[in-house]
Amino acid sequence: MADLLASIASSNAAPAAPIATTHRMGLSEEEAAFLLQEATAFAAGHGMLVQAPEQRYAHLPYCLLPVAFPKTQFEKGVALGPLFGTLVDRISEDPDWLHAQLESVLAEDPFTRRLVELSKLVQANGRAQPASLGIFRSDYMLHDDPSDEHAAKILQVELNTISASFACMSSLASELHHYLLSRFEADMPSLARYYGTTITSLASHLPANPALKALPDALAKAHAHYGRPSAVVLFVVQPNESNSVDQRWLEYTLWTEHKIKVLRRTLLDMHRATQDATTKALWVDGKYEVAVAYFRAGYTPTDYPSEHEWSGRTNIETSLAIKCPNVTYHLAGTKKVQQVLASPAQLRRFMSENESRVLEACFTGLYGLEKQSPDLAASVIESIAPGAHHQCHSIKAAVRANPQGYVLKPQREGGGNNFYGQEVVDQMDKMTPEELESYILMDRIVPQETPAILVRNAQAVAGATISELGMYSVSLFVHGKAIVNEHAGHLLRTKLSSTNEGGVAAGFAVLSSPFLV
């Protein structure tokens, strides 16, 4: 332990670069440096950590202070969570529809094809387990509308239905910011000025973040529903997970709060798991019955280097264990399904008129890239660039006219897969029509920039930033009926606006939290 602390200390020995006045927003350089020291100590002391190679741990990169965020928009995000929970469950009750929507991406996307095959297999066998557990995170960016006096509204980036991570780390980031504001507000008047306000009780502007408790509670409810107190919760993990501490917090909380045992196993390990021939109960090492299988792996093709991992996944999916998520929930979270649901008629297949309107208020333009009929193509172009389809003979032409307005996305998770700006044009020119069908096109959301101080390896990097708000929700549905379906905390990721992508683990963004105004 002393070695660990010594090595982390030595790697942080370089002096911090000075932070420009404009990015300090009224804090003096000394105050910023002091807060940075306090915050890094808090992060270490409270386990806001990431696993570095060779079993070493470092603090997760974080935003020094919470970022101003409109309260009404945050509350909208809270209300949207359960609606997405209902939507995903209703889609999973209609697997033929789901599989049909994904048909066009399958030719050039062997990974999604495999998942659809698995989903069809589960359907053909008859689901062994009628209960479905969801731990979702719907991600939004605050779109800045210059035509409406810079009115800002949240627009959905995507819905994550598998392996939505950082819930525990995000609760810790909220605690960190709560501590800094409440502890130092009286000593440091410039903290209030940082938010351009003279109000007191700064910490009261930070919304409660129950994620660290709400996720284990949901896993425990599913465990109770399964009905065998001695059964375990299985965490399906990647062999080299760097975000393991985030998962460990769930594991420890399940033990201390619920006395439920967690086992960590890889998909490869699960290849050797067994199923009871009659009940389909899933057993690990021949002695642990699995009540709930929680996936923190399996969302990306590289999680399946051989057939063994697919057999591990199949073992779980066809079993009696309650899956979080099951493969239909997983597929309901694909970008293709998000794009299809942006069509009003498709959304209303699952949701009432009122529910649909609430959901649609956070949708941005989403476009399929099927080899469509000329009529359909014209209507898509009309929606991309109203009145422009006389000049634009194809989606490609519409995109070429404004490359900065779009993001091109494949059916992938985990960040780093999208194309932006000129890349969109280049990729669309390069790809065959079949390849293009496996992607979707989305309007680029343009948030307003905020100056902020980001801290990585105890070093500050300051600049203009943009943020992405993630809203967790948890659900437990049985035969279409909700036993649990509620908001479960939030995540704010802040990144320098010069970077496109938003994954914290990928090294582009930092943990942050909203200061509601």
Residues in contact with Mg ion by the rule CB under 5 A? 158, 160, 413
Comparing CB distances to ligand ADP, the nearer of 369 and 442 is 442
Q: Which of 295, 290, 237, 299 is nearest to 268 (CA)?
A: 237
- In the bound state with ligand ADP, the residue whose beta carbon lies nearer, of 327 and 442, is 442
Which tokens hold the place of 483? 């036993």
Contact residues: ligand ADP, CB under 6 A: 139, 141, 157-158, 407, 409, 412-415, 417-418, 442, 444-445, 468, 501-502
463 makes contact, choosing from ligand ADP, Mg ion, none, with CB < 5 to 8 Å by partner type, with none
126 is catalytic: no
Instruction: Give catalytic status of residue 357 as yes or no.
Output: no
Binding-site residues for ATP sit at 158, 335, 409-418, 420, 442-445, 468, 495, 501
Environment class of 287 (CB within 10 Å of its CB; exposed 0-12, middle 13-18, buried 19+):
exposed
Cα angle, residue 321 at apex, residues 290 and 214 outer, rounded to 5°:
85
| Selected catalytic residue, list 137, 265, 323, 336 | 137
Annotated binding site: 137, 158, 160, 162-165, 241-243, 247, 296-299, 335, 409-418, 420, 442-445, 468, 493, 495, 501, 504-505
- Asked about 413 being catalytic, the answer comes back as yes
Please, what is the minimum distance in Å from the beta carbon of residue 416 to Mg ion? 10
Q: How far is the CB of 298 from ligand ADP (least distance, A)?
A: 14
User: Closest separation between CB of residue 421 and ligand ADP, Å?
Assistant: 11
* φ, ψ of residue 45 in degrees (nearest 5): -65, -20
Catalytic residue among 108, 317, 413, 437: 413
Q: Which partner from the list Mg ion, ligand ADP, none does 421 bind, CB cut-off 5 to 8 Å by kind?
A: none
From residue 128, alpha-carbon distances to 138, 194, 292, 500 in Å are 28, 55, 13, 42
368 contacts 104 by C-beta, under 8 angstroms: yes
Is 113 among the catalytic positions? Answer: no
Taking CA 459 as the corner, what is the angle to CA 458 and CA 464, rounded to the nearest 5 degrees? 125
- If the CB atoms of residues 160 and 512 are measured against Mg ion, the closer one turns out to be 160
**How far is residue 444 from each of residues 375, 404, 475, 494, measured CA to CA in Å?**
25, 7, 30, 17
Q: Is 414 among the catalytic positions?
A: yes
496's enclosing H/E stretch is strand 481-496
Phi, psi torsion values for 391, nearest 5 degrees: -85, -35
In whole angstroms, how close is the CB of 255 to ligand ADP at the nearest point? 30
> 165 vs 314, which CB is nearer to ligand ADP?
165
Is 315 marked active-site? no
Active-site position among 326, 335, 467, 473: 335
Q: Which is nearer to ligand ADP, 131 or 441 (CB)?
A: 441
Could you identify the residue written with the tokens 């293009």?
A: 436
Q: Which does 407 bind (CB under 5 to 8 A by kind): ligand ADP, Mg ion, none?
A: ligand ADP
Q: Is the Cβ of residue 271 or residue 330 nearer to ligand ADP in the bound state?
A: 330
DSSP run (H or E) holding 233: strand 232-236
Smallest distance from the beta carbon of 493 to ligand ADP, in angstroms?
7
Nearer to Mg ion, 160 or 465 (CB): 160
- DSSP of 383-439, one letter per residue? HHSTT-TTT--SHHHHHHH-GGGEEEEES--SSS--EETHHHHHHHHHS-HHHHHTE
Q: Among residues 322, 258, 274, which one has the least CA distance to residue 295?
A: 322
Look at residue 289 and give the partner it binds from ligand ADP, Mg ion, none, a contact being a CB closer than 5 to 8 Å depending on partner kind. none
Helix (H, G, I), strand (E, B) or coil at 153: strand
CB of 439 to ligand ADP, least distance (A): 12
Q: Is 335 a catalytic residue?
A: yes
Q: Sign of dihedral through CA atoms 309, 315, 321, 327?
A: positive
137 is catalytic: yes
DSSP strand pairing (232-236 vs 288-295): parallel
Active site residue 24: no
Q: Which of 289, 489, 493, 502 is catalytic?
A: 493
Would you tell me how many other CB atoms lie within 10 Å of the CB of residue 504?
26
Q: Which residues are annotated as a binding site for substrate?
A: 137, 162-165, 241-243, 247, 296-299, 493, 504-505
Beta carbon of residue 501, minimum distance to ligand ADP (angstroms, whole number): 5
What residues act catalytically?
137, 158, 160, 165, 335, 409, 413-414, 493
